[in-house]
Structure 1
Amino acid sequence: MTKFKNVKTIIFDYDGTLHDSSRIYIPAFKRAYAYLVENEQAPEKVFQDQEITRWLGYSKKEMWELFMPHLVDAHKNEASRLIGETMVDKISRKEAHLYPDALETLAYLKEKYTLIFLSNCSIDYMESHADMFNLRDYFTDMYCTEMYDFKKSKKEIVADFKHKYPSEYAIVGDRHQDLEVGELDQTYAIGCSYGFGQKEELAQADNVISDIAELKNMF
């Protein structure tokens, strides 16, 4: 596409963009919520999958502030630990799945572009996936929000590091935390409608794709 003709660096969100994280996040969330119920911090509830996946893409700090803002830090921390532990365990059991054509698309783009990984996740989570799917073969560098103590937004993180890589830039993601990166100078946002974002979040994208493989026709 003419719009992206000068792009040289593509930044990828991970969950909901390359990785179908619902498969490991839903059971992890349910385990953490069961802990809160057991400790009388939350009422029993049967969640619909969509009520759980809406939190994908948020940092753990943002998630708890929105989901259960009055929960004390000790219980937030333990519930977060259980979520992280469960997800990493499921990754080790080979239960994590990338979207079809994700790696093929990365391999294609790597031939002409600098690819950067950026996720609202922990270092352990990022490293576990990097090992399982050999992600370092595709990405020049990998960043996650724990590297910034979960205190910076993706927009702030990209503003910090983008000078290291050739301009112009594009970010590919499914949530508003990804797409607001497109507000930075020389940066475009590509929304993923197959992920976990809502229609109104995708409205801020310069372009929207329904399959990761569509990127091969755009770049």
Structure 2
Amino acid sequence: MFGNIKTIFFDYDGTLHKSIKIYAPAFRKAYQYLVDNEFAKDRKWSDQEISYWLGFSSKDMWKEFMPDLDEDVRNKASKIIGKEMLNQLSDGKAQLYDGAIEVLKYLKDKKYKLLFVSNCGIYYRDMARELFNLDNYFEEMVCSEEYNYIPKHEIVKKIKDKYPSEMVIIGDRIQDIEAGIKNEINTIACNFGYGSKDELSSADYEISNIAELMKIL
């Protein structure tokens, strides 16, 4: 199925990066701000519940999570999440999945064009780039903030023509699978990330470990 592939789009959070490690404490801190200021009721959030929001852009997350929240309050809470995630990154709390760098190096050495496409902010992307030396592997690192948080499938449509047309998209959420389907690109679902079984059911192929890519690509 993937014998002619030349260009690979990679999602980041939940695909290469075990992002719940830094997102969960950031989410809880922002939610506590909402509780303290009587914008939300006090409750405990499990990592599994919080992980649902990984893969969403900040804009889409708040639109679905608390759509009636005042925009200024929403922006403040969003900034708390962003700042705390960056603090976690700076403190060395970020973790890639075991084998992720080895996979990227393997694919780069095989002359694939690797592209990073994430529903994240610019500064977050740049911190990840620096922490894990991602410029060694990716031709381009795209984040949704650069495109005013439009859907991922629209971002892929805007950039795909710069690269060889034999493509595959690898990710763990419906946004990644949708980006492939709407752009007529093959998809590989990562069932070890944060997406549900149902949302990944339309993918062309499924992997249970990032290292499996070295067997099929």
Alignment TM class, shorter chain as reference:
over 0.9
Q: Which residue of 2 aligns with 1:13?
A: 11
In 2, Cα distance between the equivalents of 1:193 and 1:208? 7
Measure, in 1, the Cα distance between the counterparts of 2:196 and 2:211.
21
Q: Is the 8 A contact 1:6 1:167 kept in 2?
A: no
State the alpha-carbon separation in 2 of the partners of residues 49 and 140 from structure 1: 33
Q: Secondary structure at the match of 1:5?
A: coil
1:98-124 deviation line (CA, Å, top 9, x unaligned): 000000000000122000001000000
Spell out the pairing of 1:41-190 with structure 2 (5 A cutoff). Answer: 41-111=39-109, 112-150=111-149, 152-190=150-188
- CA contact 2:153–2:183 (8 Å) conserved in 1: no
Whole-angstrom distance in 1 between the partners of 2:118 and 2:183: 21
Matched residues in 2 for 1:158 and 1:118: separation?
Answer: 8
What displacement does 1:184 show? 3.8
* Counterpart code for 2:31: Y
Distance 2:155 2:46 in 1: 33
- Write the distance in 2 (CA, Å) between the matches of 1:98 and 1:83: 20
CA distance in 2, matches of 1:94, 1:6: 38
Give the SS at the match of 1:199: coil
Structure 1 residues 185 and 82: CA distance shift in structure 2, 3 A: closer
| Divergent runs of 4+, >3 A | none
Structure 1 residues 195 and 121: alpha-carbon distance in aligned structure 2, compared to 1, 3 A threshold: same
Where structure 2 has 5 or more consecutive residues not aligned to the other structure, the ranges are none
**Aligned-pair distance for 1:197?**
0.1
Q: Which residue of 2 aligns with 1:214?
A: 212
1:182-201 equivalences under 5 Å are 182-201=180-199
Displacement, 1:204?
1.1
Equivalent-residue separation in structure 1 for 2:131 and 2:108 (angstroms):
19
- For residues 77-101 of structure 1, the C-alpha deviation after alignment (integer angstroms, 9 at most, x for no partner) is 0111000000011111111000000
1:169 touches 1:186 (CA, 8 Å); kept in 2? Answer: no
Deviations along 1:177-197, one digit per CA (max 9) or x if unpaired, are 001122145511100000000
**Could you report, residue by residue, the CA deviation over 1:159-186 in whole angstroms, capped at 9, with x for unpaired residues?**
1110001111101000000011221455
- Partner of 1:11, secondary structure, is strand
Q: Deviations over 1:47-92 (max 9, x none)?
A: 1111111100000111111110000110110111000000011111
Distance 1:107 1:217 in 2: 14
Contact 2:157 2:183 in 1 (8 A): no
How many residues were matched structurally? 216
Offset of 1:129 from its aligned partner? Answer: 0.5
Q: Is the 8 A contact 1:168 1:186 kept in 2?
A: no
CA distance in 1, matches of 2:184, 2:196: 25
Tell me the residue number matched to 2:32.
34
Structure-1-length-normalised TM-score: 0.97
**Runs of 5+ consecutive residues of structure 1 not aligned to the other structure:** none
What is the RMSD computed on CA atoms of the aligned residues?
0.8
Partner SS, residue 15 of structure 1: coil
Q: Residue deviations 1:126-182, cap 9 Å, x none? A: 0001000000110000000000111x1111100111000111110100000001122
Structure 1 residue 22 displacement after superposition: 0.5
